[in-house]
Structure 1
Amino acid sequence: MTMIDPRAPLPEQVERQSKIIDALVRRASQQKDVGPSAYRAFQSAIDLQQQVAAQTLELESARYERERTRKALVEALASMEEGFALFTDGRLNICNELFQELLPDISTKVVPQLELKLYFELMATSRFLVSTNRKLLNVSDELEAAGASDPAMSIVAELLRDRWYQLSVQKTSPENTVLLLTEITTLVQHNRREKEHLIDQQEDYLQAVFQNMSAGVCTFSAEGQVMMHNGRFGAILGVPLSAFQPGTPVQSLMGYMTHRNLIEDSVLAQMEAWRQEMVNKGSLSRRVLHGADRVLDVYANVLPDGHFLVELKDVTLEARSTELLENRVMERTAELTHANEQLTAQYEEKARVEEELRISKERAEAAVSSKTRFLAAASHDLLQPINAAKLLISTLEETTRETRFLPMVERLGGAFASAEYLLHSLLDISRLESADPDMVSPSDVNLGTIMMGVKSDQMLLAEQKSVQLDVVPSSVFVRSDPVYLLRSVQNLVVNAIQYTNVGGRVLFGCRRKGDKIVLEVWDTGIGIRRKDQARIFDEFTRAENVPIGSGVGLGLSVVDRACRLLGHRLSVRSKPGLGSVFSIEMDIVHDAAPVAAQHIPVRELEADSVDHIVVVIENDADVLYGTTQWLQQWGASVLSASSTHQAVEFVKDMGMAPDIILADYQLDGADTGIRAISEIRAMTGAQVPAILVTADRSETVRRTGEQNNISVMTKPADLLRLRGLIEWKISSNKPPANPSGQIKQEV
């Protein structure tokens, strides 16, 4: 068991050890024989006493050093030029004399262990403190919320006799808070002097600006007395300085100006209303007359202290300019009104004329539409009798071949051919002028087929005129409409043959020109003068050197319209007496699929007898009669029908498929040749060859014929080509699907 508590204070341990040693000494003197335990106890006591003595010496040394350090700290704080205080755990630990004596009436209460919060409360109640820039009672709460790393809190305090201090409060650790007082009186006074100097400078500057303003400015007190004004204010009003001094009531000023007729009496009557408006709204703006010929703008504004500021501007020139401008505007408005009335009248007249033009246009369009419809109907109705007449004339030629009437019939055929050519040209021009999109159907066309067909068709005409006709073969494909391209090349070749003398030559072929192909028709004819080359493409126009009776001038017009519609470039080169070259430039189609030519050379297919069974379907009695007579004269057996029903009945009665079918496209009502051909093929079970002979030249009919394996020939038909086509169709037809040739009986 320990006899001394090591946690007890050191003096208490020393006193306790002395008592233990005394007790041991007395016990030892009373006993003669000291045992080992007593000796050990005595020895321990001696050691403990030595340790206590050493610790006592160290404690005294530490106490001395602490007092010496504290004294040095106090001396250092006393030598500081700033007030300093250290609060530990919220209580005053140490401070210097400057901090303690800053506020004399609370200096006796600034003692150690003073709470920080209480210090700020004492400071706030000091009669030596004039003001601070923040509430002192809130500083303690803000410090408790602040951390040791937060910036110092600054308080500026004004003391009596214009003394200024800055109190910096910094929490250096969770336990310690440092307050530092720094006198800033010199800095504040210097800044004040600088500020006053700047204010003086600004005042001088503002005064200079105020006096040199173009507008007149004057301030009045709330009672309406002059306080301050610039020279411009009096100059604008025309009031001398003697009558316009500070303290002058505004009523006196107004009376002075009224007495000298500077303002009207009506202005005085409105003064009270103006004052009330300025009080209610805070501002006032008016334009008034001043004197005989001056205009002033008056602006008044209420100031925060109840005074009011009045600004005057001389706007006489502006008012005069505005008045002049308004007068000019009125004059200009009157002129514009008059002009507008004239324009309105002109517009009404224009509207009337436009309405008349619209009505005329509608009538013209109706006339064109009527003409288009008429020609569409006439193209069928006119071509039907022509086709019938051609068939009858051809039959008549064969009948009178060995008689004296043959020359007369041949002349009749020639005259009729001229009428047919003229009618074709007129119909072509009408179709090309119409807006029907079905008139032109561009596709990939083989120029070789076109040129060989033209040569075959016009060879007889060339032989009759003793003109050599040659063609340079070509296999180029172009993008064009096959019907109108064929028609254009035919017209150019016919034109070349017609105007070439006996023994001359006509040659046509193609030349490449980059991605273009140029089809050229050369002749050694009479040529065309330069002045005529630009007008030969007009309707009913011929060159001056053309003999009378050699045409009406429609062929080249058809070519020109067709080329413009197809996007082809048509040109001519010619010299009188040497011949002409007509050219058509077209786009080449490089990847077109080759198509076998189906043009049949007419002269090679002529035969003495046509021993075939032919079904002819035609709703026009004359055409039906003429076709029947023409075929029978060749030796054909003809079944003549005017409708699909009649043709089917004839074939059914015959009991076998015919060799070929010739049918018109448009029959009576909704009946068509396509329907008739399809029903005969279906009934016989054979792909009977068929030819549509129609006046309808539309692309729709041509495509329908191609889709049904039906050849299409336009009316009036070229009889030689028709005969050749019949022979070619029959010879190239495959064996029928029903070898027996018998018609299948219906159940």
Structure 2
Amino acid sequence: MIDPEEPLEQQVARQAKIIDALMRRANRQHEVGSSAYGAFQSAIALQAQVWAKTRDLERTTDELRHARDDSERMRKNLADALSAMDGGVALFTGGRLEVGNDIFLRLLPDISARLQRGLSVEDCFAAMSESRHLVTVEGNFDVALAQARRSRVGASVVSLVFELAGDRWYQINLQRTSSENLVLLLTEITAIVRRNRSEKETLIDAQADYLQAVFENMTSGVCTFSPEGAVMMYNQQFRQLLGLPYTMLQKGTELQRLLDFVARHEIITEAGALEIAQWLDRLERQGRLRRRVRHATGRMLDLHAHRLPDGGVLLELKDVTLETRATEMLENRVAERTAELTRANAQLREQFVEMARVEDELRLAKERAEAAVSSKTRFLAAASHDLLQPINAAKLLIATLRDSAAETRFAPMVERLDGSFASIEQLLHSLLDISRLESADRALTPSDVCLGTLMRSVWEDQTPLAQRKGVQLDVVPSMVFVRSDPVYLLRSIQNLMVNAIQYTPAGGRVLVGCRRRGDRVELQVWDTGVGISRKDQKRIFEEFARAENVPLGSGVGLGLSIVDRTCRHLGHKVRVRSKPGSGSVFSIEMEIAAGRPPGAQEGCDRTPVEDYEMSHIVLLIENDPDVLFAFTGKLEQWGASVLAAGSTAEALRHVRDMGMPPDIILADYQLDDGDTGDRAIAAVRALSGVRVPAIMITADRSNELLKTGAREGFSVLTKPVQLSRLRPLIEWKIRWQAPEEAAAE
């Protein structure tokens, strides 16, 4: 009934309950039975059990008393041991103060009464921080306690160093003895701190003596001033260079007094009171000053002044008299030699006067010729926007008319009109390309370009032309990166592919692909066309040159000339292999971009784009009324709801009236009154609070605009716009790019 493993207090309590139950049982006569002998026998047995339990109870009580005596004795011994230690010691059990020695309890007399058993370690530290005997603490009590509790058991953490009144210093060490117990150790480090302080002062004095010895042995004169402007250190060289009396240059002399003495006695010839004031002002503003001055004795001195980190000033004087005299001597000799050369030049000038006159006439003639060419080039380059605007409007109107006239008797006429206009467009592009390549300020910017992307773009543009001619157009894109200009390389590939389709009869084939040549790649365009004779192969890259076997009306001969000029500027090699009646192979050899592995291969299929209804809200921003009308009609023919605007302000009014952002923005770059399309896109996005997909349609072909589009998140299409590329680009921007950008944001 009694577990010997239980504490003594519980065993005694259980024995008391058993004895009480036995006594009650002895008093109940009805439970013993009706026999007197049985009752007597039961009483005798009960009495024996009571005596046995009483003896057990007395023994347990003695053991409990001995255990309490041992505990008190151990506590007293622990207190005596802690009192015998040199430093202060306190033991916290379960975060409460268990015991502490006299050094700990009396270290701060004004809080000794609060350091009682059971005080939490947080309250103990709070009381210590409030003591008036505490001067400074290097650290934080709360941070030290948290660091000690996170440390492993048995690890000692040097947490705090504090100063008490009377220049006494102590260090607190915290150590975990178990998961719940913490020991605080106080160690007096007053002697160590005072010794370190004395050693530091001694070291500073030694360094001062060493620094003074260095000053005295310097060839330059040096003087330092405190932030208040008093002399701190100087060497005799400084006094001797300036010629100052001993009474004037002493430790503690004011800088202003020294400068007044120099100005009053004209020790430095140029240094009047006004000049010295300007020196001080520049030193105050710039933190340094450098001047070459002349001493009253005739010596030349270099004056250097610097602001020190503490706000003081360092002055340095250096005697440069010999250097100055050598410089003056050298300058005189140079002047003499210059005079001799001047006389010789005068003689030579007289001999070449006639030659100069002839050269001037030749130069003027050359300048007039170059001015005429440059004027033509600048005119074409500057007029590109104005030329392409009506071309773009007409192309949009023809596309709208072709779709409207389909299956009518006007369809063949519209088809011929479209073909004629395509020839005009191609010719205009060729003229503009030539003008840009000839322009003195052209800016070809080679970069890493993926060939596969350009080849696929040209394939998408020229597939309708090949289908109309009945020519099979196959492209095997190579996703290798090359060093080239993306705009002009795209035009070169387009010209080669257009020529191949144009001179290949119906039923023929055009194949475009690439071959690796070591660290270079060769883009090749194969065709089964009419071919070129060897004689014509030497001149087909000239302007307006065509082979003899090509039919009339098949171009003006500018495409290959543009390809040749572009490749020469970019460092590419153009080659041709051909035989009359067997087709031709044109190739462009380029350098592969280093460190750019090929991307994933993309195929070019011949599946036409699905003709679907475009149910989007399109915000169209275009300042040219004709282009705006034509573009609006074409987009509405595709099924789009068009908000036509001629400026940024009108576009913002449409968005405010609609109360929601459009699905996509189509904007021209050059608007009226200095307005631009990129600003219009940014304004619409800011007003709606949505990163609306956007496409810039412009005649500007500069790389700066492409970089701006990549940075601001809009695509760039050049005028006249290719509708076969515009429609899928609109769908891609709305259906795919916009969700991706929203998720990224």
Tell me the TM-score normalised to structure 2 length.
0.51
5 Å-filtered alignment, 1:48-127, equals none
Q: How does 1:539-688 map to 2 (within 5 A)?
A: 539-592=543-596, 604-688=608-692
In structure 1, the partner of 2:737 is 733
Instruction: Give the match for residue 409 of structure 1.
Output: 414
Distance 1:489 1:519, change over 3 A: same
Matched, 1:396 2:396: no
**Aligned-partner residue type, residue 392 of structure 2:** N
Question: SS of 2:584's equivalent?
Answer: strand
Q: Deviations over 1:547-605 (max 9, x none)?
A: 11111101101111111111101111111111111111111124226678999989654
Following the alignment from structure 1 to structure 2, what is the Cα–Cα distance between the partners of residues 603 and 727?
Answer: 17
CA distance in 1, matches of 2:589, 2:477: 17
Q: Which residue of 2 aligns with 1:712?
A: 716
What residue number does 1:384 align with?
389
Change (3 A) 1:690 1:603: farther
Whether the 8 Å contact between 1:511 and 1:518 is mirrored in structure 2 is yes
Number of the residue aligned with 2:427: 422
Check whether the contact 1:480–1:566 (CA below 8 A) recurs between aligned residues: yes
Q: Is the 8 A contact 1:685 1:738 kept in 2?
A: no
Q: Separation in 2 of the partners of 1:458 and 1:473?
A: 15
Number of the residue aligned with 2:500: 496
Q: 2:485 aligned with 1:478, yes or no?
A: no
* Distance across 2 between alignment mates of 1:369 and 1:519: 33
- Aligned residue number for residue 360 of structure 1: 365
Measure how far apart 1:431 and its partner are.
Answer: 0.6
Residue type of the alignment partner of 1:709: G
In 1, Cα distance between equivalents of 2:701 and 2:365:
32
Q: Deviations over 1:299-341 (max 9, x none)?
A: xxxxxxxxxxxxxxxxxxxxxxxxxxxxxxxxxxxxxxxxxx9
The corresponding residue for 1:447 is 451
The aligned amino acid for 2:500 is A
Shift of 1:372: 2.9
Distance in 2 between residues matched to 1:419 and 1:465, nearest whole Å: 19
The answer on whether the counterparts of 2:471 and 2:506 sit within 8 Å (CA) in structure 1 is yes
Counterpart-to-counterpart distance in 1, 2:429 and 2:393: 16
Change (3 A) 1:384 1:728: same
Q: Report the CA distance between 1:736 and its aligned residue.
A: 9.9
Within 2, Cα distance between the matches of 1:432 and 1:482? 14
* Counterpart-to-counterpart distance in 2, 1:607 and 1:600: 19
Query: Residues 233-268 of structure 1, C-alpha deviation per residue, up to 9 Å, x if partnerless?
Result: xxxxxxxxxxxxxxxxxxxxxxxxxxxxxxxxxxxx
Q: Does 1:514 align with 2:504?
A: no
Secondary structure at the counterpart of residue 734 of structure 1? helix
Of structures 1 and 2, the larger Rg is shown by: 1
| Residues 480 and 598 in structure 2, CA contact (< 8 A), matched pair in contact too | no
CA distance in 2, matches of 1:729, 1:596: 21
Using a 3 Å threshold, how does the CA distance of structure 1 residues 645 and 370 change in structure 2: closer, same or farther?
A: same
SS in 2 for 1:733: helix
Moved over 6 A (4+): 343-346, 593-603, 736-739
For residues 131-155 of structure 1, what are the alpha-carbon distances to aligned partners after superposition, in whole Å with 9 as ceiling and x for unaligned? xxxxxxxxxxxxxxxxxxxxxxxxx
- Alignment of structure 1 residues 155-304 onto 2, 5 Å: none
Asked if structure 2 preserves the Cα contact closer than 8 Å seen for 1:600 and 1:725, the reply is no
Please, which runs of 5 or more residues in structure 2 have no aligned partner?
Answer: 1-346
- Corresponding pairs, count: 397
CA drift at 1:703: 1.0
Aligned residue for 2:438? 433
For residues 375 and 509 of structure 1, the distance between their equivalents in structure 2, rounded to whole angstroms, comes to: 34
- For residues 731 and 499 of structure 1, the distance between their equivalents in structure 2, rounded to whole angstroms, comes to 39
Residues 152-198 of structure 1 deviation map (CA, whole Å, 9 limit, x = unaligned): xxxxxxxxxxxxxxxxxxxxxxxxxxxxxxxxxxxxxxxxxxxxxxx
CA RMSD of aligned residues (A): 2.6
Distance in 2 separating the partners of 1:347 and 1:598: 67
Provide the residue aligned with 1:375 in structure 2. Answer: 380
Counterpart-to-counterpart distance in 1, 2:507 and 2:400: 32
CA gap 1:538/1:344 in 2 versus in 1, 3 angstroms:
same
CA-to-aligned-CA distance 1:521-543 (integer Å, 9 cap, x gap): 11111111111111100010001
Between the aligned partners of 1:390 and 1:353, the Cα distance in structure 2 is 54
Is the contact made by 1:686 and 1:737 (CA closer than 8 Å) also made in structure 2? no
Superposed CA deviations along residues 89-135 of structure 1, whole A, max 9, x for unmatched, are xxxxxxxxxxxxxxxxxxxxxxxxxxxxxxxxxxxxxxxxxxxxxxx
Instruction: Give the residue type in structure 2 aligned to 1:499.
Output: Y
- Find 2:469's aligned residue among 454, 462, 465: 465
CA gap 1:602/1:389 in 2 versus in 1, 3 angstroms: farther
**Structure 1: stretches of 5+ with no match in the other structure:** 1-340, 740-747
Q: Deviations over 1:29-56 (max 9, x none)?
A: xxxxxxxxxxxxxxxxxxxxxxxxxxxx
**TM-score, normalised relative to structure 1:** 0.51
| C-alpha displacement of 1:398 | 1.8
